[in-house]
Amino acid sequence: MASTVVAAVMPAPHQPVELREFAEPSLPPGGLLLETSFSEVCGTDVHLLHGRLAGVPYPIIPGHVSVGRVSRMRGEARTLDGRLLREGDRVAFFDVHRTCGRCHACAVTRTPTRCHARRVYGITDSAADGLFGGWSETIYLEPGVLTAVVPEPVGDEDYIGGGCGLITSVHVMDRAEIRLGDTVLVQGTGAVGLSAIALAKLSGAGMVIAIGAPADRLRLAREMGADTTLPLDMPAGERLERVRELTGGHGADVGIEVAGSARAVEEGLNLVRDGGRYVIAGHYTNAGPSTINAHEQINRKHLEIRGCWGSEPTHFVRALQILAQHAARIPWRAIGAKVYALDELNEALADAEAMRLPKALVAPQRRRDRL
Ligand SMILES: [Zn+2]
Ligand SMILES: [Zn+2]
């Protein structure tokens, strides 16, 4: 009776993604299976392909943020808000699981995104352990994975268009502490940057200035709410002048780095005003050292610098609430520019890496070889 599931597997760094068959797992009490509607190809997946993240248990089924319908379950499973799940429910889940609650990071410093026991679907779960990734016809949600029924006004395309970039950006906003009327600088117009632009406006920013590339991405940045966009091919000196002009000579109140470039940090510290705040969230992998002058760029400026790592359940739940309230007006779904079938993911990774589109979506029920 056991049926099979097809998933796209990344066997090892620098090796092409390939389709593999898995047996549909038997479920423990509280476990469930999702028929995947959409997953995504994010910057992390490109890093995974190049082996840039430590401790990844290849082979893996990538796709850490996904949405689907409950296709099978055993016993009772409840959502984060206590609702009993049923077969057919449209469900999103928090990709981080097994956060222990007992370690120093969890219990003492209350920084659970630094828990060493935590695992992330599609990144630190091995395909040898099962269907722990969204590039698969079916995703296994083990007991304890945090879930939410996707609220009715939020389409699958809205949720996955926002995807991990939106969830990450909700955390970035907590760290950025934007005040009403602030001028916010966003460096980077990838999926995180585009969401950060929209959320900065929702947080009350008076003006959002975005730096990025290519040109069509800057157009989308303006659609997401950026008041001014500055291209990457403009000399940095000119960008500094423009930001000064726009801010009465002071610089931005808050800077948000989501570019993943060591050069962006060097520049960003100059674009933020004295006494301002700078949040670094783009260096998810090691982009190498930035050369900064601590006297000129931090100490004398009385600058505050914060990092932002991963996300917590609150960011996942609030991302859904934000989509329910604003997705009709803010074009999150436009970020997911193109949908790829399960056997087109090497192409999708190449397109993502070449920045040919803001984000590639994965529709695991589709297979080109079947068409
Ligand atoms: Zn822990
Ligand atoms: Zn991601």
Please state, rounded to an integer, the average pLDDT across all residues of the chain: 96
Cα of 117 from ligand 1 centre, angstroms: 6
User: Average pLDDT of 77-93?
Assistant: 98
Cα of 64 from ligand 2 centre, angstroms: 6
| pLDDT tens string 5-37 | 999 999 999 999 999 999 999 999 999 999 999
| Ligand with the closest atom to the CA of 98 | 1
Cα of 120 from ligand 2 centre, angstroms: 10
| pLDDT tens string 144-197 | 999 999 999 999 999 999 999 999 999 999 999 999 999 999 999 999 999 999
Q: How far is CA 7 from the centre of its chain?
A: 21
**Which residues are in the CB-under-5-Å shell of ion ligand 1?**
100, 103, 106, 115
Alpha helix stretches (DSSP H) within 22-108: 43-49
Cα dihedral sign, 39-40-46-48: negative
**Distance, CA of 325 to CA of 20 (rounded, Å):** 39
354: CB partners within 8 A, 6+ apart? none
Cα of 251 from ligand 1 centre, angstroms: 39
| Ligand with the closest atom to the CA of 64 | 2
Cα of 105 from ligand 1 centre, angstroms: 6
pLDDT at 371 over 60: no
The model's confidence at residue 2, banded by pLDDT at 50, 70 and 90, is: low
Please report the pLDDT score of residue 115 as a whole number.
Answer: 96
| Ligand with the closest atom to the CA of 162 | 2
